[in-house]
Structure 1
Amino acid sequence: MSRSSQHRRMLIGELAKATGVSARAIRHYEKLGLLHANRSENSYRHYAVESVRYVESIQQLLRAGMTLRTIGTIFNSLMDEDCTLYVPRVRKAVQDEAERLWIQIESLQQSYALLQHALQRGTMKPPKSPTGRRSPDRLKKRINRSRTQNRLTIADDMPTCQD
């Protein structure tokens, strides 16, 4: 009796191996309603092959800094299982996460630009504060002031170790 791959089921250990996620985490995702498993007569969990995509998506969202609670709110919409973006709570959660990620992206772009600048001109010294101490906040403000057209630029007069 052959089953098509579409109807094939995986045991929790197989799913864990396929995704690199622990069986404990997979059980937790199931408890939160992010995954569904059918139970056999011997109570083994059997997951659909598409569960691999679900677990990988959950892991990607976790790496992006989302909480499991937020993922639970928006997951069905993201996985095209349920068109819930018209629900105000879900739409707001998606908008909030998109904004949070955009802020994170901008921060990473600033860090990248600083590192590139340091590689091009030598290691940077943070600017001195009015008290004579180096101030990371002043450096951050200077970088933010030098941003133009949604692109980060570093002022040429920023101090370096050679200055």
Structure 2
Amino acid sequence: MSIGALARETGASVRSIRHYDEHGLLTSARASNGYRIFPPTAIQQVKQIQRLIATGFSMTEIRRFPDCMRLIEGAVSCPETSEIQRKRLASIERQIADLERRRARLCQMLAEGTAPPLD
């Protein structure tokens, strides 16, 4: 399938698909005209890559994931990825806690008209 067809099937941009391919997350071949062509399985792969990116994983991290995570659309976990998923969740939770502290400080500043002391 052409890159345009893959983009239409997945909702991903052609640019994103090229990016995934260049980072080794997809497998493509070149047609005689030099255009990329993708196997039908690329539809599920692109959708899974988009899900992983949406949960905060980088291209480098996704590239290290085993096939059980990268190639199966909707795969939520496999034994080899559980630890990195837990670490990502802990990182997100730390970010949320930090944002909540900042929000509270800003709310206090607005309510009192002064800056609260640093913790």
Q: What range is the shorter-chain TM-score in?
A: 0.5 to 0.7
Larger CA Rg, structure 1 vs 2: 1
Give the alignment's TM-score, normalised by structure 2: 0.65
Distance 1:44 1:19, change over 3 A: same
Distance 1:99 1:36, change over 3 A: same
Give the counterpart letter for 1:58 in structure 2. I
Unaligned runs of 5+ in 2: 73-77, 100-106, 109-113
1:16 aligns with 2:4: no
Distance 1:71 1:61, change over 3 A: same
Distance 1:133 1:38 in 2: 59
2:57 match: 66
1:41 match: 32
Aligned residues, how many?
A: 107
Distance 2:19 2:31 in 1: 19
Give the alignment's TM-score, normalised by structure 1: 0.49
Which sits farther off after the overlay, 99-108 or 38-47? 99-108
Distance 1:20 1:94 in 2: 28
Looking at secondary structure, tell me which structure has more helix per residue.
Answer: 2
1:56 match: 47
Pairwise CA RMSD: 3.5
Give me the identity figure in percent. Answer: 28
Give the counterpart letter for 1:104 in structure 2. I
Distance 1:72 1:15 in 2: 20
Bigger RCO (CA 8 Å, 6+ sep): 2
